[in-house]
Amino acid sequence: MASSNNSNSTLASRSRRLRVRTFAVTCLSEDTGILEWVPDTDSMRNLVSKSYNPQTTPYCPRRRGSRMTNFGDASMRSNFERSQNQFFKNGCLTQAAKMYYNLCLKQNPPVLSWWFVQHFSSATDWYEARKKFTLTAAAWSAIGHVIGLGDRHSENILVETTTGRIIHVDFDCIFDKGLNLPRPEVVPFRLTPNMLDAFGPTGADGMFSSGMESCLEILRDNRDTLLSVLEPFIKDPVIDWKRHRTQQTVSSTRIPSHIMGKDSHGEAKRSIHVIKERLSGICNLRNPNYRKLQGQVQKLCAEASKNENLIQLYVGWMPWV
């Protein structure tokens, strides 16, 4: 929340309308707190489900021929796991991704754009809602990538139904903790077919990419402010970083051993180092290449939407939504 507020406070972000919705959090202990209620919101999963429901979205041509009745039903999960097993059994990502496309994506095309058509009656409201959806998605994706925000399943992404703006919730899986899950979250942010569908005909190549470039530029220009918010975690005696140790090794992440450390703050130091690298243009620490803003965004979007990556995720993440 603090890093998001820092982004909101810059003049550059206001001029590009790159503002993300935040909410108040009052911590009571390490694992309990009070959260502000955010009204007029619905989860992305529910909106997609409604778009497949003839009663809530009467006209949706993409629904024709679809076998989908519920995005969380057993048949869809079974199809995804069948595709995933091709990878775990044979180690062939290409074959698994092809099976995933045929069994999941091809039979159930994206429909989120039709929720905007149904929900916003005038052309002006419809355009503004999709614009806000795209720009807030770009801002959250940039922020999430930099701080290593994971667990971005379709119920942790809310949509403000009055404006179309995206609101992210549940920030427990931060600082790349998603890489330590039984099924590592290998995508930098959520960029599934329904997300791309809601962006419009240009997908991630238009307003989303330019918005994300602007947000990353803001974060780079204000890196000292951002790090001043995050670095106190290193000295916070309440946080047990050893609980959140990742599976990556010093050699695979290119991080010197003195930064990793053996003390209780080793993981915190590592996280700060990773954030600094990402602010410098590194997309993937296993294949470190410094990139300019445009190249960094293009690489991240490709990694986030690649079927070979989506097929590796936990079924509850619902990559097909």
CATH number at residue 172: 1.10.1070
Position 166 in a domain = yes
Residue 138 has pLDDT above 60, yes or no: yes
What's the pLDDT score for residue 18? 75
Instruction: Report whether 245 contacts 265 (CB < 8 A).
Output: no
The residue among 260, 268, 291 whose CA lies nearest residue 278 is 291
What value, to the nearest 5°, has the Cα angle with vertex 159 and ends 158 and 165? Answer: 125
Single pTM value for the model = 0.85
Amino acid at 81: E
Q: Is residue 170 part of a domain?
A: yes
β-bridge pairing 41-43 and 166-168: unpaired
Give residue 252's pLDDT band: very low, low, confident or very high (50, 70, 90): very low
> Would the pLDDT of 156 be above 50?
yes
In whole angstroms, what separates CA 301 from the centre of its chain? 11
Residue 270 has pLDDT above 80, yes or no: yes
pLDDT at 246: 41
Instruction: Please indicate, yes or no, if residue 238 is contained in any of the structural domains.
Output: no
Structural domains of the chain, count:
1
Q: Are 64 and 132 in contact (CB under 8 A)?
A: no
Q: What's the full length of the chain, in residues?
A: 321
CA 306 to chain centre: 14
Residue with tokens 């997300």: 195
For the chain, the average pLDDT equals 82
The strand pair at 41-43 and 157-160 is best described as antiparallel
What are the pLDDT digits (tens) for 178-213? 988 889 999 999 999 999 999 999 999 999 999 999
Residue range 220-229: mean pLDDT, rounded: 90
- Whether pLDDT at 68 is above 70: no
C-alpha distances in Å from residue 164, one per residue of 97, 138, 141: 31, 13, 16
State residue 157 phi and psi, 5-degree precision.
-120, 110
Place of tokens 């379709």: 154
Q: Could you tell me the two tokens for 149? A: 């925000």
Which range marks the domain in which residue 48 is found? Answer: 2-221+299-317
pLDDT greater than 80 at residue 294: yes
From the list 196, 186, 192, the residue with the least C-alpha distance to 314 is: 186
Is 145 contained in some domain?
Answer: yes
Q: Which residues contact 68 (CB under 8 A, 6 or more apart)?
A: 52, 76, 107, 108
What pLDDT score was predicted for residue 243?
A: 53
